[in-house]
Amino acid sequence: MTARGRRHFIKPLVFALAAIALSGTLSGCISPSADDSGRYTTPIGDAPVIANETPYSDALRCMTAYTSQHPLRVAVGQIADYTGKTESDNGGRKLTQGAALMAMSALAKAGVPLVERFDTSVAELELKYANNKLIGDSPRTADGPQDYRKIFAGSIPGSDYYLVGGITELNFNIRSMGANADAGEAATNGLKGTAGGSMYVMNVGLDLRLVDTNTLEVVKVISEQKQIIGRQISVGAFDFLGHTFFDASVGESALEPIQLAVRSVIERAVLEMMSNLYRMPQSACETQSDPLANPNERAQQNSTPITTAQNAINQENTNDPSNQNPYRYYGSDDPAAEPRLRRGLDN
């Protein structure tokens, strides 16, 4: 058999063997009939379930030493997504719709007593049944149902403050940069290569307010944002090997989780609000050091003097740019701290 004949004979044989091997591999991954465990295939991945943490979670848990001494009940209302950004394929919103749940988790980490005001549908239904004498708390016996549940005035504890607000910013591609390079031999069939990379930055912003439940007075307003970074890297090569050629490329892309960034902003805002509300010393729980901040920015921000306590209050109330200092908190030694934030503690 000539060399050309062998080549034409071997090629179909190689493709047939490859097809058989591929079908055997697929049949090992997926079976048309369920196995003894009731599954067609075994799911990939073995990552364990872990706690959903941010760089501010430890500081929030440290606050329990203060929140347990002066329990103030806090409720969480609507914290909606006001950005209006949706996926291009109409697959849904780009940002989480569970910001209120994230705020509840942050308050729980800080040990703040919570009262439910976000979803009271079950409680309202039970109250309706109890009002019609349909619910009993005693076990059912052979003689029939026991006494019904009584409704007493004042049985539901009220809140001292409630937290509301929304996600108000989602800005894509605040800044981006990239670089690409191509190189290779001058010959037509010489080795060629390419490499490139790019980085881009976006951000999310949040506006929250803390409201006194009794007077509906807004006692604290916070507006904060966090930048999110993404990157892409790729490398490729092209070359001829005799009568054949190959073209290979590898790449990697990564984006900081957007929803985790939202959680970080919420936890940072809750940390600042509760630090003011409970009059925590500035040195407590390292709340004066933001784990995500640049040390040079911190030194510059801390160098800005606050001449009087009244000036500090005015800056806090009007959301002055000095509030961008993530390490600045009022302590118990502040001679003129906001009385509205201390009503629950002093009374």
Residue 39 falls inside a structural domain: no
Q: Which two tokens stand for residue 128?
A: 């309706």
pLDDT at 300 over 80: no
pLDDT at 117 over 90: yes
pLDDT at 271 over 50: yes
Output b/e per residue, 52-67; b: 16+ Cβ within 10 A: eebebbebbebbeebb
Mean pLDDT of all residues in 24-40: 74
Residue 136 falls inside a structural domain: no
DSSP secondary structure code for residue 33 in this structure? S
Tell me the CATH number at 162.
Answer: 3.40.50.10610
pLDDT at 231 over 90: yes
Residue 8 falls inside a structural domain: no
Residue 66 falls inside a structural domain: yes
Confidence band, pLDDT 50/70/90 cuts, at residue 4: low
Domain count, the chain: 1
Domain that holds residue 237: 51-115+157-346
- Contact in structure between 280 and 66 (CB atoms under 8 Å): yes
pTM: 0.74
Mean pLDDT of all residues in 147-165: 92
The pLDDT of residue 318: 41
pLDDT at 253 over 50: yes
The pLDDT of residue 203: 95
The pLDDT of residue 331: 30
Of 316, 347, 306, 308, the C-alpha closest to 219 is 316
Confidence band, pLDDT 50/70/90 cuts, at residue 21: low
Mean pLDDT of all residues in 239-250: 82
Output b/e per residue, 270-307; b: 16+ Cβ within 10 A: bbbbbbbbbbbebebbebbebeeeeeeebeebeeeeee
pLDDT at 171 over 70: yes
Residue 151 falls inside a structural domain: no
pLDDT tens readout for residues 63-89? 998 898 888 999 999 999 999 998 888
pLDDT at 310 over 60: no
The pLDDT of residue 36: 84
pLDDT at 312 over 50: no
What percent of the chain shows pLDDT beyond 90? 47
The pLDDT of residue 344: 47
pLDDT at 338 over 50: no
The pLDDT of residue 337: 42
pLDDT at 287 over 60: no
Distance between CA atoms of 79 and 59, rounded to whole angstroms?
A: 22
Beta strands 192-212 and 74-81: pairing type?
unpaired
Most confident of 38-52, 280-294, 329-343: 38-52
Confidence band, pLDDT 50/70/90 cuts, at residue 2: low
Residue 38 falls inside a structural domain: no
